[in-house]
Structure 1
């Protein structure tokens, strides 16, 4: 009986040992799978982290460049309308040739003016020759030529306008001339289109047309300027 019991005990112990080894084997398998998941999770986290850093380092220069370009377009490269002012308007008065019958060709007057142009931009403005048209009661009575040139950034210049058609043919509107003489004043309209071009950093070129219009009124008695009103438009 003792021998039988010892055999039973030995077999039981061996079985228990086999069960422990099986459990340990199973636990080892579970631990191995868990380690793999942890490794994959850690690798995925590191990969996302590197990708995030890469996006940040790439995004900062792009964002900086966009801010710089936006700032330049709103400051240095932004086109500002040139400022034009009328000055030194000179009216020689009305002359009538009494040696012949009163007619449109016997009534003349001379007119000259200067225009000051200021370029507020950070680049030069180049313009070509232009002509001031002088209108008296919807009738063009004369032309005044203006020379072209190049206006540097932030500078101003005076464009001297000289009469090229000799004198203004006021007699082409005799009826209005009689009425204006009674009022002791002569109204004129002066308009000019100044074509030009701007060159931004020698890269961008834009054609620009400055449209300028003035209504001026002179006293007939002393040929002095009574009043004037001007406005301008810029076309690109």
Structure 2
């Protein structure tokens, strides 16, 4: 009994198709593994870090008003904030906010301009925080008393929202936070001590 050659043709045609499907599935699996490894290593979001590089007190103007004796201090704090981006992708931040507090009471604020920090790069932001006399009404006696003792302490709290962009379509929203406590000497009005805590909220 002889074998019919026509019966082997479908099998011969199926074999290349199965090989091609196997190759495609293998490539898809390899690409998946590569993407997974990259997602867990190179593209894993890292925390952008903010830090207060310098803070200088400027524009100190004591003012005494009559007939009721009232003492007030106009104080401006010049800030330089450093933003470090350790990611392999850019960090685009929106409008941030810095608050000036004295004894837990907000006495000034300023907007921080939006911008973009390149991958594995850094940038600085400058801002001026002015202590607003009308917000100090309840604490003015404490401020004057602290100033007469030789120093006073203010807090600066900064929030910078933004997102990390991977390959233009993978986006991770974060908020960089910096809280600093400054001890200002009197009468030099120089920053004697600076303690900061930095963190990032995903």
Unaligned segments of structure 1, at least 5 residues:
1-55
CA distance in 2, matches of 1:59, 1:147: 49
Q: Secondary structure at the match of 1:76?
A: coil
Conserved 8 A contact 2:91-2:116: yes
The structure whose Rg is larger is: 1
Conserved 8 A contact 1:188-1:215: yes
Aligned to 2:10: none
Q: Secondary structure at the match of 2:119?
A: coil
Q: Secondary structure at the match of 1:81?
A: coil
Aligned to 1:133: 99
Cα deviation for residue 209 of structure 1 reads: 1.3
Conserved 8 A contact 1:112-1:144: no
Q: How does 1:167-186 map to 2 (within 5 A)?
A: 167-169=131-133, 170-186=136-152
Conserved 8 A contact 1:192-1:213: yes
Moved over 4 A (4+): 56-63
**CA shift in 2, pair 1:57/1:159, >3 Å:** same
Conserved 8 A contact 1:81-1:234: yes
* Number of positions where the alignment pairs a residue of Structure 1 with one of Structure 2: 180
Task: Tell me which of 42, 50, 63 is aligned to 1:84.
Answer: 50
Conserved 8 A contact 2:51-2:198: no
- Stretch deviating more after TM superposition (92-101 or 180-189): 92-101
CA distance in 2, matches of 1:108, 1:162: 13
Whose relative contact order is higher, 1 or 2, with alpha carbons under 8 Å and at least 6 apart? 2
Bigger fraction of residues in strand: 2
**CA shift in 2, pair 1:228/1:182, >3 Å:** same
Task: Tell me which of 63, 70, 82 is aligned to 1:103.
Answer: 70
Bigger fraction of residues in helix: 1
- Stretch deviating more after TM superposition (142-151 or 60-69): 60-69
TM-score, normalized by length of structure 1? 0.67
What do the CA deviations read for 1:93-132 (whole angstroms, capped 9, x no partner)? Answer: 642212434437x332111201011111111111111220
Cα deviation for residue 82 of structure 1 reads: 1.0
TM-score, normalized by length of structure 2? 0.77
Cα deviation for residue 58 of structure 1 reads: 8.4
Aligned to 1:187: 153
**CA shift in 2, pair 1:110/1:171, >3 Å:** farther
